[in-house]
Chains A and B, each alone.
Chain A
Amino acid sequence: MKTSFLDFEQPIAELEEKIEQLRYVQDDSALDISEEIERLNSKSQALTKDIYAKLGAWQISQVARHPQRPYTLDYLSGMFTDVEELHGDRAYSDDPAIVAALARFNGEPVMVLGHQKGRDTKEKIYRNFGMPRPEGYRKALRLFRMAEKFQLPIITFIDTPGAYPGIGAEERGQSEAIARNLFVMAELRTPIISVIIGEGGSGGALALGVADQMLMLQYATYSVISPEGCASILWKSADKAAEAAETLAITANRLKTFGLVDRIINEPLGGAHRDHELMMQTMRKALTDTLRHLQDKPLDTLLQERYERLMSYGRFKETPER
């Protein structure tokens, strides 16, 4: 797959183009230019490292939304075995924007759920750009309950612009569907791990993200509102998205300092989309550690800690008596 480059990656793109041309020339030339290619390759690497070392929040948003980034189904096929996808909310329909599977992780059965975006236009529409409708959240709810029943740990992958703002979604209770998941996940008697793999878009993301451990990829984002949405409301112009992104504190680093994310998972150089294979390895290791850590805890302790953690969210002043 040919990497598609983002705006701020143009210098890398040009270099890669040159390397590609040289390779082509080398194929039918007697001259050995492999040294030159090697030199350019390491230059490209250094350049990538350089650019990625100082990404702003808005640039990170672009990486988080990169069309070649691994999605939930990629992680499912890349890290899990015996994957059986399960469908439907048993009430209205099946929502392809959320996928769910009974699968094995390191040989052990788990329940995996996540948002799913599409790669090409047709699939993007089919997956509704990863924006779930109430039935998606209700499918998740049903399978959360099932995981609890069979004592299966839950792993959720979060990657959505947000819950779908549509007429039908409102008619079928989008608010209630999200709210119900928040309630149930808070008291579900089985370990829950959430990983933000791309876009953590507001309530639509949180509805799969009440967890014992919150993991986040290095170039993922998690936000109460999209930078564009925030900019158009507060700055009255979507062009101020970069400024909004910076101010909203949506990156893994900022959120880790606030204690809202437990662990940052490093991505391959140039982002997860550059090397799916390596991303799977790093992810597997992080999940293995986290899962072991959670499974060592008695269930009551786990739930107590989950509750206390939820209650600790927020920053406010406390004055003795006004």
Chain B
Amino acid sequence: MSWLQKLLPPKIKRGDSGTARKVVPEGLWSKCPNCDSVLYRTDLEKNQEVCPKCDFHNRINARTRLDIVLDPEGRFEIGSEVTPLDPLKFKDSRRYADRIKASQSETGETDALIVMQGSIKTVPVVAAAFEFKFQGGSMGSVVGERFVRGVNTCLENNLPFICFSASGGARMQEGLFSLMQMAKTSAALTALARARLPFISVLTDPTMGGVSASFAMLGDVIIAEPGALIGFAGPRVIEQTVRETLPDGFQRAEFLLEHGAVDLIVDRRQMRDKLATLLTGMMRLPAVA
């Protein structure tokens, strides 16, 4: 069990293992971790991994995410030339270098952030998405650098930037280098802001710790997916600190909307349309059909 899974309450863990089950397609059927409905796999995929019965949003990987949101033509990846190192020679029960290799072969990705230039309903953008299965989507040097390269591409080409977060926070195994990625990514957004280019931050399940406490909360518009867990400290840490049981729905997207922390909650199936509408508005472009 990864350290992040340990942090999450049992309900999420169930959801996660449910997703894992689905990604390895053992059969034609899968069961919704939320409503227990038995679903036809193909239906679920067609429905962008959202349960057609109860609208539960399953976690999806970074490439699927970008695939859903970007137009099929004219995409190219940014920052794939940047790959991880092990600056601290970190070793706990396993070497960090080995953990990286394991994540790479499990996900087929080289690190936890994928960045692509492309368009959404013909509106040109740069979009980034976290791969949660890669070390819990944790932010280390590579994530920070790819984020910055994405922002730089926006600056060079006058494009808006969108980031889909799914992360447990900063990556412990790169020590203070990871913490500094919070400052680095946030600083890059100052340049984007000065160029009057929009940044839309989409918070998906889960967005915690150092990612939540940096660029993810700095969107001109902040969108959350329904039911996503979003917060600074993990629920277990809070529970241990305050020694109280946490209120129902604590740190869920709906809770954040109620407390004024996000602009809107958007169903995954409407994400493309909503993003296009918001972007054309902020960029003062003609409305898209």
Binding site for B on A (CB under 8 A): 163-167, 169-176, 178-180, 182-183, 186-187, 202-203, 206-207, 209-210, 222-225, 230, 233-236, 244, 247-250, 255, 258, 260, 307, 310-311, 313-322
Contacts and interface: CB of A to CB of B under 8 A. Distances in A.
Given A314-B145, A315-B85, A202 B259 contact: no
Contact of B238 (A166, A224, A313): A166
B183 A175 contact: no
Nearest to A174: B232
B259 A173 contact: yes
A133 to B, nearest CB: 11
Highest count of chain A CB atoms <10 Å: which of B88, B142, B177, B183: B183
Contacts of A314: 140-142, 144-145, 177, 180-181, 184
B229 to A, nearest CB: 11
Nearest to A205: B179
B287 to A, nearest CB: 30
B83 interface: yes
Given A165-B241, A313-B183, A314-B184, A203 B209 contact: yes
Contacts of A249: 88, 175-176
A316 B233 contact: no
Contacts of A187: 187, 190, 194
Nearest to B240: A165
B176 A175 contact: no
A165 B251 CA distance: 12
A180 B190 CA distance: 11
A58 to B, nearest CB: 15
Interface string B253-280: 0000001110000000000000000000
Contact of A182 (B6, B186, B230): B186
The 8 closest A-B CB pairs, nearest first, are A165-B233, A314-B141, A186-B187, A182-B186, A313-B180, A234-B92, A233-B3, A315-B87
A234 B237 CA distance: 15
B242 A322 contact: no
B204 to A, nearest CB: 15
A167 B88 contact: no
A317 B187 CA distance: 22
Given A174-B232, A175-B230, A209-B183, 10 more contacts: A166-B233, A166-B241, A179-B216, A223-B176, A247-B88, A247-B91, A258-B177, A313-B184, A314-B145, A319-B83
24 contacts: A165-B232, A165-B234, A170-B232, A172-B259, A173-B261, A175-B212, A175-B213, A175-B231, A176-B261, A179-B182, A180-B218, A182-B187, A183-B187, A183-B190, A224-B176, A224-B178, A233-B7, A234-B3, A235-B92, A307-B187, A310-B183, A314-B145, A315-B177, A320-B81
Contacts of B260: 173
B215 interface: yes
B29 interface: no
Given A163-B232, A172-B259, A322-B80, A315 B141 contact: yes
Nearest to B99: A234
B232 A178 contact: yes
Nearest to A319: B81
Interface residues of B, number: 69
B175 A250 contact: yes
B148 A311 contact: yes
Interface string B172-205: 1011111111111011111100100000000000
Contacts of A260: 176-177, 180
Nearest to B86: A315
A203 B210 contact: yes
Contacts of B171: 224
Given A223-B175, A230-B172, A315-B141, A247 B232 contact: no
B250 interface: yes
Contact of A316 (B84, B175, B186): B84
B126 interface: no
B232 A167 contact: no
Contacts of A179: 182, 186, 212-218
Contacts of A186: 183, 186-187, 190
Most buried by B among A222, A233, A260: A233
B175 A313 contact: no
B259 A171 contact: yes
B185 to A, nearest CB: 8
B247 interface: yes
A248 B177 CA distance: 10
A313 B147 CA distance: 13
Nearest to A314: B141
Given A224-B175, A260-B176, A320-B81, A248 B183 contact: no
